[in-house]
Amino acid sequence: MKTTSNHARPDWLMIEPEAGYHAKTHRGEFLSSGLLKEALRGGRFAYQAKLTAYGAGETFDSRAFRIGRLVHAATLEGYEAYERELVRQGYAGTTMTDQQLARMSAELVHADRLAGSLLADGWAEGVVETTLHGLPCHARIDWFNPYAGIVDLKTTRSLDTFEADMIRYGYLHQLAFYRALVEVVIGIAVPCKIIAIEKSVYPRVKVYNIDPARIDAAAAENTRAIKELVA
């Protein structure tokens, strides 16, 4: 995985192939932020339904998801990872416009003063595994900066509606889950940030410093949902 840090990679921030990480989730070995989202939405029934769908081999893919993966690979892991993602998708899953958008997005994020500084130090796609409220959990963190903490990269239709999207799509709960796992292993509640970039002809980039109080509120809801799963 790409690193641009002069610091030694923390032992707890593991390198694990994406396929292996998702396989653990799909087998129900670890709770992920995606499965937690189902539990928050519909409790144990929705959580079990998602696991059953995974077990039946159902995939949850879309053009937006494929573009997001390309943007993540190009921005966080570099050109070689971007090429691997294209091969994995078989090229047919995205258009040339999508591919150009992903490459342009990566360039714009790194050129942005705030976003670029966050990605100038740290590690991409690190995995943390621990137990939270008695349940094995894991998370694949987009970027971990040794000074700035957790950095999540999101694509969006418009920055004008992104604040609402954070709530609509559960981004705060996702970050709260990540923060909780990191806190268990290092004993510190680290800061959380989001880099958002528009999927448009002239994309804008913005860094959101998430108020810890908002993460705390989401974490409380996460805790209730997890405890219901283990009850």
Are residues 123 and 144 in contact, defined by beta-carbon separation less than 8 angstroms? Answer: yes
Domain ranges of the chain: 18-60+112-230
* Mean per-residue pLDDT over the chain, rounded: 90
Q: Which of 1-10, 48-57, 112-121 has the lowest mean pLDDT?
A: 1-10
Are residues 197 and 105 in contact, defined by beta-carbon separation less than 8 angstroms? Answer: yes
141-164 pLDDT per residue, tens = 999 999 999 999 999 999 999 999
Mean pLDDT on 16-44: 95
CATH of domain 18-60+112-230: 3.90.320.10
39-84 pLDDT per residue, tens = 999 999 999 999 999 887 766 666 777 778 888 888 998 877 778 7
pTM: 0.92
Q: What is the band of 134 on the pLDDT scale with cuts at 50, 70, 90?
A: very high
| SS3 assignment for the chain | CCECCCCCCCCCCECCCHHHHHHHHHCCCCECHHHHHHHHHHHHHHHHHHHHHHHCCCCCCCHHHHHHHHHHHHHHHCHHHHHHHHHHHCCCCCCHHHHHHHHHHHHHHHHCHHHHHHCCCCEEEEEEEEEECCEEEEEEEEEEECCCEEEEEEEECCHHHHHHHHHHCCHHHHHHHHHHHHHHHHCCCCCEEEEEEECCCCCCEEEEECCHHHHHHHHHHHHHHHHHHHC
Instruction: Please report how the helices 63-72 and 79-89 are oriented relative to each other, as an axis angle in degrees rounded to 10.
Output: 160
**Report for 71-75, 93-97, 130-134: range of highest mean pLDDT:** 130-134
Mean pLDDT on 112-128: 96
